[in-house]
A and B are shown apart, each in its own frame.
Chain A
Amino acid sequence: MQQRGLRRGLLSILGGLILWEVLTRLLLEDELLIPPPTSVARSLWKLSFAGELNRHLYATLFEFACGFSTACAVGIFLGYLMGRYRWFDELMDPWIATLYSIPVIAFVPLIIIWFGIGLFSKIVVVFKITAVAIMLNTAAGIKNIDPVWLELSRSMRLSPWETTAKIRLPAALPYIITGMRLGVGRALLGVIVAELMAANEGLGYLLREASETWDSPKLFVTVVLLAAMGMGSFGLIKKGEQRLAPWRESAEW
Chain B
Amino acid sequence: MAGPVLEIRNLTKEVPTGNQEPFVIFKNISLIVKEGEFVSIVGPSGCGKTTLLRVINGLLSPSSGQIYIDGKEQTGAGKDLVMGFVFQGASLLPWRTSVKNVLLGLEGKKNSGEAEEIARFYLSLVGLSGFEHHYPHQLSGGMQQRVNLARALAVDPRILLMDEPFAALDAQTRTFMQLELLRIWSQTKKTVIFITHMISEAILLSDRVIVFSHRPGRVRSEFAVPLARPRSLDIKSDRRFVELENVVWKQIEEEVRAAREGSPI
CA distance in complex: A156, B87 (Å): 12
- A31 on the interface (CB 8 Å rule)? no
B18 on the interface (CB 8 Å rule)? no
Is the beta-carbon distance between B93 and A154 smaller than 8 angstroms? no
Are A157 and B80 CB-contacts (below 8 A) given A151-B87, A166-B104?
Answer: yes
Could you say which residues of chain B place their CB within 8 Å of the CB of A248? Answer: 94
Answer yes or no: A170 CB below 8 A from chain B CBs.
yes
Report yes or no: B155 in contact with A156, Cβ–Cβ below 8 A.
yes
Does A148 have its Cβ within 8 Å of any Cβ on chain B? yes
* Among A148, A162, A247, contact of B87 (Cβ-Cβ < 8 Å): A148
What 0/1 readout, one digit per residue, does chain A (144-182) give for beta carbons within 8 Å of chain B? 000011011011111000100011001101000000000
Residues from chain A with a CB closer than 8 A to the CB of B91 are 148-149, 151-152
Q: Is A44 an interface residue (CB 8 A)?
A: no
Chain A contact residues (Cβ within 8 angstroms of B): what range? 10 to 19
Nearest chain A residue, comparing its CB with the CB of B89: A148
Within 1-24 of B, Cβ neighbours of A (below 8 Å) are at none
Total number of residue pairs linking A and B with CB closer than 8 Å: 53
A157 touches B93 (CB 8 A): no
Q: Does A119 contact B (CB under 8 A)?
A: no
- One digit per residue, 1 when the CB lies within 8 angstroms of any chain A CB and 0 when it does not, for chain B 45-88 equals 00000000010011100000000000000000111110101010
- Measured in the bound complex, the distance between the Cα atoms of B137 and A245 in whole Å is 13
Q: Confirm or deny: A246 has a beta carbon within 8 angstroms of a beta carbon on chain B.
A: yes
Q: How far is the CA of A171 from the CA of B80 in the complex (A)?
A: 25
Determine which of A157, A173, A246 lies in contact with B78 in the assembled complex, contact meaning CB atoms within 8 Å.
A157
Give A155 to B108 CA distance when docked, in angstroms: 16
Which A residues are CB-close (under 8 A) to B83?
A: 155
Q: Is the Cβ of B77 less than 8 Å from the Cβ of A247? A: no
Give chain B's interface secondary structure class: loop
Which residue on chain A has the smallest CB distance to residue B155? A156
Contact status B136-A247, CB under 8 Å: yes
**Dominant secondary structure of chain A at its interface with chain B:** helix
When distances are taken between beta carbons in the complex, the residues of chain A under 8 Å from B165 are none
Decide if A154 touches B108 in the complex (CB within 8 Å): no
Please pick, from A155, A162, A166, A167, the residue contacting B59 in the complex, using a CB distance under 8 A. Answer: A155
A167 to B107, CA, bound (A): 13
CB–CB B77/A154 < 8 A:
yes
CB distance from B188 to the nearest CB of A (A): 19
Inter-chain CA distance A170–B100, complex, in Å, is 13
Q: Which of B87, B95, B108, B155 contacts A173 (CB 8 A)?
A: B95
CA distance A153 to B104 in the complex (A): 9
Inter-chain contact A156/B104, CB cutoff 8 Å: yes
A154 to B104, CA, bound (A): 12
Cβ of A245 and Cβ of B85 under 8 Å apart? no
| Residues of chain B contacted by A148 (CB below 8 angstroms) | 87, 89-91
Q: Which chain A residue lies CB-closest to B108? A: A162
* Partner among B59, B79, B137 whose Cβ is within 8 Å of the Cβ of A151: B59
B90: A residues at CB distance < 8 A: 148
Contact with A along B163-199 (1 / 0, CB 8 A): 0000000000000000000000000000000000000
25 contacts between A and B (CB under 8 A): A148-B89, A151-B91, A152-B85, A152-B93, A154-B59, A155-B57, A155-B58, A155-B77, A155-B83, A155-B85, A156-B104, A156-B155, A157-B79, A157-B80, A157-B81, A157-B105, A158-B104, A162-B107, A162-B108, A166-B107, A167-B93, A170-B93, A170-B95, A246-B135, A247-B135
8 closest A-B pairs by beta carbon, nearest first, are: A155-B85, A156-B105, A247-B135, A170-B95, A247-B94, A148-B91, A157-B81, A154-B77
- List B residues at the A interface (Cβ < 8 Å): 54, 57-59, 77-81, 83, 85, 87, 89-91, 93-95, 104-105, 107-108, 135-137, 155
